[in-house]
Amino acid sequence: MKFPLFVIIFLCLISCKSEAEDSQNSNETNDSISYDKKIDIDTRGFDLEPEAKKYASNWLEFITAQNEVKKLENTTTRKVMNNAIAISQIMNSLSISLPDSLRAVPVEARLNVLKTKAHLLEQYSKKQQPDVKDIDRTAKEIYLEFNNLKLQMNELFLKTLEDFEKELDEFERMEREMDSTATEDTVENIVS
């Protein structure tokens, strides 16, 4: 009687262990699939205006960061996790190397936000069990914040209201000169 009872208990323990292993393997498969899933990033962004582009084209760190952010458009969570340290270092060097011609509070604020998001991405990626949602969300935020940086750079070179008024005054002055010249020519033609 002891022997069959012992065999039944042994078989139950083995089957429970097998179910636990199957459950763990299933979770690992799901995690692997979610890490290899492409991150859905809204790729609508801003292009730099010619004036801002002139300064940005000489800023090596900006070009490097732009290339890295561009890669986020077509990447997976696993690739972002593998590049998180590099992204963090690039955003840090971008912040440090800001040229004087672009030094303004809004631009510096955008750079600080980018640097912070990149550090968060690095921290999320280094976790023992990284959360896919945190990594994906932060990658999307980095993409968005980089576009906000470009927007702020464009705004540095927008004309002010005074500039528009000066251009309008100059245009009106030239128009009056042209009208007076045309009127003089018409009067000369009538007199002749």
pLDDT tens, position by position, 88-132: 999 999 999 999 989 999 999 999 999 999 999 999 999 999 999
The ranges of the chain with pLDDT < 70 are: 1-33, 159-161, 163-164, 181-192
CA distance linking residue 40 with residue 118, whole number of Å? 18
Beta bridge partners of 38: 76
Neighbours of 106 (CB within 10 A): 14
Q: Which CATH number fits domain 48-157: 2.60.40, 3.40.50, 1.20.120, 1.10.3470?
A: 1.20.120
Q: What does the block give as tokens for 88?
A: 């963090």
In this structure, are residues 135 and 125 in contact, taking their beta carbons and an 8 Å threshold?
Answer: yes
- pLDDT recorded at residue 99: 93
